[in-house]
Each structure stands twice: as structure tokens, then as C-alpha cells.
Amino acid sequence: MSQPDTIGRNAQITAFLAHHGLGEAARAPLAGDASARRYERIVRADGTRLILMDTPVPGHDLIPFMAIGGDLADLGLSVPEVVAADAEAGLALLEDFGDGTFSRLLADGEDADALYELATDVLVQLHRRFRPERAAALELPVYDARLFAEQVMLFADVYVPVATGKPLADADRSALQAAWEAVIPDACAGPQSLLLRDYHVDNLMRLPRPGVAAGGLLDFQNAGLGPVAYDLVSLLEDARRDVPAERAERMVARYLAAFPDLDADAFRRSYAVLGAVRHTRIVAVFARLALQERRRGYLIHLPRVWRLLEAQLAKPALAPVRAWFDHHLPPGTRADFVIPEPD
């Protein structure tokens, strides 16, 4: 955003806050994420707090955040209450859930099993209670085989040319697309529910509430309708944090125990394929952030993401994709590859 735009936006925010009686409130910026959204903590004179959400694309995030949040609350899950909003301007005042993100609690030595059990139980409740027909009413995207296959090809267009030093030939790109299209449909064939997409410990808060309401949800504005395995693999195969395999397996077993009629083998195949899809796309996204936006801090996570990806590629359900990777991306083009500095 240019300097004049920044000045104009600050004036707009100041007027928005004043309109809601917060003209004298203290403001403190909060850490952001990979999106264009920005957050501030607003502190009133009496010490009570709110969160300001500021987005340049309200139709992409603020408006769906409010709509999806309403449904999640109706399901008995905890989302920040929208206290006030100017949707057209991309500004909202949200309930402040505090500082107790799961990632911070884990860093402070809290019981990791208890936190991951809570996160798993939140998904269980979501998948039990959400009715897939609500997706149309909420105008949610459908994360089906076509969309997953389309999104994962970012890897071919962003990462492969940099790692190999040349664009991917059309025939090789088509072969990769065909490999993914051979495995993704089966992964999407099972039960569908609300897919939150970025379900991991940075977007979960512990709240002083009973049961699954103790798990506060953030960053769900890009949710859609999709396979139930996706968010569990997002939680347990985190791009930014190592989750011991034993803990991950306990959580998968916990989830499956809650759905005794679910085909466990099919679920695990879906988990593997969707995990590979997610990791492959994340490799490309992190590379793009480093190359195009000079946000190189994400590169520290690439070795972890590659380890997770290669573990899934080793499974029988991913055999066609693994064959393509083995042929086209030999050692030296994967985890140990360093993204060059942008020109």
C-alpha cells in the first residue's frame, strides 16, 4: 500500500473506531500471517479489549468470516463474536480471545496431548453437526477432486522451474497432473463437511469454557465443503511444527473412534493423499512468498514440509505421484534445495 493510501486508511480506521466510541482507546498491532489482513488490539480505558480486523478484500475474507462464524457458533463451537463491522470498508471489531494460542501454550510447556485432543474433538463436533447442504446457503467453494488437482499444480509452475533451473516441459506437466488426477478422486469420495483449511495450532485458542467450546477458532474465512480428513491432516502434519508420529496416530485413532461407521482404511487413504496435496502446495506457496514477496522466513519450514510430503508419497495410495517425483525431482531439488534470492 502506498504512503497516501496508508494515510487514508488510517484516517478511515480512526473514524470507524470513533464511531463506535473507541476514539480514545489504545491501539497495538498484532502479528499477521501470509494474507493481506491486518489486526490490532484495541484497549479501552477500563482495560477491556477488542480486536480490529482490517482487510482490503472484505468480500474475500470479512464477509465470509461473519457468515461462516455464525454457523460455527450455532454448532456449539467458539468463534470471535463480531461486535461491530463495516463490511464494505473491510473493518470489524471482534471479541478478543486473548493470547492463549495453542502454539504459545505448547511453547510454555502445556500438556500437548490435552491440546491436540481438544482440537481433534472440535473437528469431531463439527463433522457430526454440520449439514453439507448449508454449504450452498453460505456460498462456500467446494473442495472437490477438480479443485485440489488444480491447486496442487502451483508446484509445477512455481517450485519446479526454480529447483531445476528450467520451466517444466508441457508433457512433464501433463504427466504430473495426470498422476494427481489418478489419486485425488478416491480421497474425495468419502464423507464431506465444513473444511476450515488452515486448521492448526496457530489458529486455535484455549478458552475458559466447557467441553469443545474451550477450543476457540480463528482464520476460517476461506472454509469450504470438502473431505473430512483434510483438517485433521492439517492439524497433525503442521508445516510449522513437528508433531510426534505417536501423537498424530493417537489423534487419528481418537477421531475414528468417534465415527465407528466410517471406513477407517478409506479415511487413512484420504488422509495420506490430501496430506500430500497440502504439503506439495505449501512447498510452492512458501517458495512464491520468498521469491515474489521477499518473505524468506517461510523457507525455514521447507525441510519439514518435504519430510512430511515424502512420508506420504511412500504410501501405496500415492504411487503414481511418487513415480513422477522420483523421475523429475532427484536429490538436490527437494528439501536441501535453497531458494535463491530474488533479483
Cβ atoms of 40 and 52 closer than 8 Å: yes
Domain ranges in the chain with CATH number 3.30.200.20: 3-95
**Nearest 10 degrees: Cα torsion 311, 313, 317, 318:** 170
DSSP at 296: G
In angstroms, the CA 319 to CA 173 distance is 17
User: Tell me: the pLDDT tens digits for 250-265?
Assistant: 999 999 999 999 999 9
Instruction: Report pTM.
Output: 0.91
Contacts for 320 with CB less than 8 Å, ≥ 6 apart = 178, 179, 182, 183
In angstroms, the CA 72 to CA 126 distance is 8
Which secondary structure element, helix H or strand E, spans residue 129, and what is its range? Answer: helix 112-129
The secondary structure of the chain in percent helix, strand, coil, rounded to multiples of 5, reads 55, 15, 35
- The mean pLDDT value for 153-176 works out to 95
Question: Nearest-CA neighbor of 203 among 228, 229, 238?
Answer: 238
3.20.190.10, 3.40.309.10, 3.30.200.20, 3.30.70.580: CATH of 3-95: 3.30.200.20
Domain ranges in the chain with CATH number 3.90.1200.10: 102-328
Does CATH place domain 102-328 in 3.90.1200.10? yes
Cβ atoms of 36 and 57 closer than 8 Å: yes
- The mean pLDDT value for 179-193 works out to 97
Which secondary structure element, helix H or strand E, spans residue 204, and what is its range? Answer: strand 204-206
pLDDT band at 3 (very low <50, low <70, confident <90, very high): very low
User: Tell me: the pLDDT tens digits for 137-152?
Assistant: 999 999 999 999 999 9
User: Tell me: the pLDDT tens digits for 287-304?
Assistant: 998 888 777 888 889 999
In angstroms, the CA 252 to CA 274 distance is 14
Question: Nearest-CA neighbor of 151 among 195, 115, 217?
Answer: 195
CA angle, 158 then 200 then 144, to 5°: 60
Question: Nearest-CA neighbor of 127 among 262, 243, 251?
Answer: 262
pLDDT band at 342 (very low <50, low <70, confident <90, very high): low
User: Tell me: the pLDDT tens digits for 16-56?
Assistant: 999 999 999 999 998 765 567 899 999 999 999 999 999 98
CA 4 to chain centre: 32
- Which residue carries 477450543 as its cell? 215
In angstroms, the CA 65 to CA 87 distance is 11
